[in-house]
Amino acid sequence: MKLYYSPGACSLSPFIALHEAGIAFEPVLASTKSHKLQDGTDYYGINPLGYVPLLELDDGTRLREGPAIVQYIADQAPLKNLAPAAGTLQRYRLQEWLTFIGTEVHKGFSPLFNPSMPEEAKTIAKERLKARFAWIDKEIEGKDYLMGEHFTVADGYLFTVTNWAKPLAFDLTPYPHLRAWHARVGARPAVQEAMKAESAGK
């Protein structure tokens, strides 16, 4: 399978999931600026939406949207416990986390990346993010990972978007449990491998 990605983007999340699952894949660099592959191929011809990640299966089937992609990856390696079994309440708890991260944290950072966004709008976005991170900080107190003792694809997704705090000068100091969790996830061998492999594409 192929993973279309761009360093620094949310595609690090499925990069992590694939490394955690131990699944062989071909990483394909897709620039989010030029929307072209390294060989000059127009990425819009692969994903009309133009963004990453996109997972292409061996039969040519393409799957978009990070939360869907990482659940697919998790289900290919069930013994890795990257996602609870389909149909269980815990699986819906995982989807609850993935949805929250996507809509409340991932998209919460979007205004901060936009150079044309007025400073007033960025301030509003930061205040909303602070509230979301404060909630997460309480939720993970006393836990190793978001779902408890097992690392899941939700951890990989939140780790990815939380990494944006530093380059955007968003202060995580007020959230000790979140920072401890972030360090714990970042120390995982598969996460280290994924970050190294992804950054090699810069």
Per domain, the residue ranges of the chain are: 2-81+190-199, 89-188
pTM for the structure as a whole: 0.96
Contact status, residue 82 vs residue 152, Cβ threshold 8 Å: yes
Pairing relationship of beta strands 26-29 and 62-64 according to DSSP bridges: unpaired
Q: At what angle do helices 119-139 and 176-186 cross, to 10 degrees?
A: 80
pLDDT digits (tens, 9 = 90+) for 164-192: 999 999 999 999 999 999 999 999 999 99
Burial 39-55 (b: 16+ CB within 10 A, else e): eeeebeebbeeebbbbb
pLDDT digits (tens, 9 = 90+) for 89-140: 999 999 999 999 999 999 999 999 999 999 999 999 999 999 999 999 999 9
Give the lowest-confidence range in 31-35, 51-55, 96-100, 102-106.
31-35
- CATH code, residues 89-188: 1.20.1050.10
pLDDT exceeds cutoff 70 at 201: no
Local confidence band at 200 (pLDDT 50, 70, 90 cut-offs):
confident
Please tell me what DSSP assigns to residue 102.
I
pLDDT exceeds cutoff 80 at 202: no
Contact status, residue 194 vs residue 15, Cβ threshold 8 Å: yes
Average pLDDT, the chain: 96
- To which residue do tokens 């449990």 refer? 177
Domain 2-81+190-199: which CATH class?
alpha beta
